[in-house]
Structure 1
């Protein structure tokens, strides 16, 4: 199983079919294969050797797509960078992964240069933008044009394909190691669950660094479909591209779907080509899902649940279950059933499987599971147990095998489709000189699903405002991780006999009227 096989197959069977559409650039599969092979040659010419890491910090584009395949073609490992991170977080992940090449576009030129200046391991920065190449950087298109195509290195199977960083329970991001087998298998399961064919025109509207879109990148390519790119999500631009390029499929997180439904252009655009809307990355409120189904009656909805550690697929709820009447109604609140090749079990705190209908931790295993966390053997051992990935999500399975997510066992918040581990935010908060103690929890939010909420006890004699706290955090962590609301308290936070802050007690007032503890 090797990811570049999809490029070989598409170029061999449909060389003149459209592969990528990005702005005014349209390329066909024969050309894309040649460009991927040339970019791989350029990387090798820059000293990239077996297993070296190549990082990408960029908005969505056809060049991002080429990097995803050229890096393994060159016998290397791709490291997609979260575009919402702070420079400090980028520096951490570059140093942690040991990346030697950094590829940036116009949007992240300044951030890329700042990262380079702090990371002596970066040997070259490649500029993949559309403007004039800055001094000291290498030009992406010039590299592709100047270097001959090289043979595919054949990286495959259990070989490391990518390091995908996700939130950290200890205050630092974790690099999830995914193999060719895990990504290949998960993509095949995604394609089967969504029923992809070579006629798919997939619009990259969700960020390409995120494995939700990454999984669709590989899946659509495996089935020989076409890729359409928008730099970042904008509802009006999304509708324009669906109409103009006859887009058939896209993956959106719930916050994007809400923006889409609120966009005035929705009523005026011809989106009759739009067959499938895949949603995931955070729970979808049933009211929002029903509204979307009503406003997009000719579009089939698919929910995909999973996490980076599963490459990313765990379960799928297909369009046939997105109905309000008939024998298949009643499953909208579920996350679906296990994808092909995936096995799911629900366990108690001792690791014993619980009966159907009982709540426990959702665990998954299959050829799609991660190799482990990069340089974090202890955290790997905690999450990956006897081949099972412990997701940290609390849920249950019904008699038909549908999985329902009702809570989080891990101290994690999902806001706007992004995972935020409380420890990361608390680590930043405690660096403020006026903070005595703090706790970070997720609370329901109409726009973001959940928002990051900080509860802070200032030090005696110290005065601090909510705005000051938020501004302090923005220097240290990505904006989406920063508290959106702050509660300043005089009294100490509630604690257990062992001195642990009782977050269950802190969360209770905010979730009292909710049927489940995720939103």
Structure 2
């Protein structure tokens, strides 16, 4: 909430941060009390933005709209971007590549370039890439292959060249042979009006390998139970993607210094018993 008076007083034009910070801004109970008409764009990067956030920003920012960029330290923060009608029409896309950048999707096993709509690892190339890691030739060789940077992100490119990031490859939940992308599940849960913060993560399961779990911070003054969530998600996403373990929290979810949710910490808290989910 501290950002709102600053935006009004200083006539800030761009609000840049991770999606959770944009979500906090437009959903703050005092948002309508301040003049935010100076804002031309709200967004940033660092993580996929749920479609519900894109819609909320588009409706809340009177003279601007949502924006999203995708870059890494290794690309000098240069990468695909999405904004305006392109973004509201494709709220789950991070946009198209901008020359001279090259973006492709590789099969992680064969290293072959995949076709339209095929899921694999997102790769980047171009003059904006780093030359390498300082005094770490092995790490450089692992990260950059034939001029292409391994991003560690999984996704696909559609027929119009728009890039869709599904999740960090290492964060994808493998449940009984089925791939579950945390960002997709989070996006569906964010559509519930009682939900303020969401973090989906995997927990070990003896037979399936992993099961889907979620931690939710409920909007102040609202109420939500695991049963409410299961009913809400019924038919919205595939049954194997619906979290079997639900933690409802009254305090904010743990974050790192950049504002990203600490899913490993949540997973460890469930494993240690510090958090007790409702399970089915």
> Into which bin does the TM-score normalised by the smaller protein fall?
0.5 to 0.7
Provide TM-score, normalisation by structure 2: 0.63
In structure 2, runs of 5+ residues without a counterpart are 173-180, 191-195, 207-260, 273-278
Work out the CA distance in 1 between the residues paired with 2:21 and 2:152.
25
2:19 touches 2:43 (CA, 8 Å); kept in 1?
A: no
Identify the residue that residue 322 of structure 1 maps to in structure 2: 87
Identify the residue that residue 100 of structure 1 maps to in structure 2: none
Give secondary structure in 1 for the equivalent of 2:25. helix
Q: Does 1:248 align with 2:10?
A: no
Residues matched between the structures, number: 202
Q: Does 1:352 align with 2:112?
A: yes
Q: Does 1:265 align with 2:30?
A: yes
Counterpart mapping for 1:145-294 below 5 A: 236-294=1-59
Identify the residue that residue 266 of structure 2 maps to in structure 1: 484
Identify the residue that residue 241 of structure 2 maps to in structure 1: none
> Cα distance 1:482–1:390, how it changes in 2: closer, same or farther (>3 A)?
closer
Identify the residue that residue 127 of structure 2 maps to in structure 1: 367
1:452 touches 1:481 (CA, 8 Å); kept in 2?
A: yes
1:316 touches 1:337 (CA, 8 Å); kept in 2?
A: yes
Provide TM-score, normalisation by structure 1: 0.35
Identify the residue that residue 155 of structure 1 maps to in structure 2: none
Q: Does 1:406 align with 2:146?
A: no
Work out the CA distance in 2 between the residues paired with 1:310 and 1:487.
36
Q: CA deviation at 1:371?
A: 2.2
Q: CA deviation at 1:406?
A: 2.0
Give secondary structure in 1 for the equivalent of 2:70. strand
1:451 touches 1:484 (CA, 8 Å); kept in 2?
A: no
In structure 1, runs of 5+ residues without a counterpart are 1-235, 324-328, 414-440, 458-478, 490-508, 511-519
Q: Does 1:381 align with 2:146?
A: no
Work out the CA distance in 1 between the residues paired with 2:271 and 2:159.
46
Work out the CA distance in 1 between the residues paired with 2:15 and 2:124.
26
Give secondary structure in 1 for the equivalent of 2:92. coil
Pick from 67, 72, 75 the counterpart of residue 307 of structure 1: 72
> What is the alpha-carbon root mean square deviation over aligned residues?
3.1
> Cα distance 1:448–1:313, how it changes in 2: closer, same or farther (>3 A)?
farther
Which structure has more helix as a fraction of its residues? Answer: 1
Give secondary structure in 2 for the equivalent of 1:264. coil
Following TM superposition, the consecutive aligned residue runs of length 4 or more in structure 1 with deviations greater than 6 angstroms are none
Identify the residue that residue 199 of structure 2 maps to in structure 1: 450
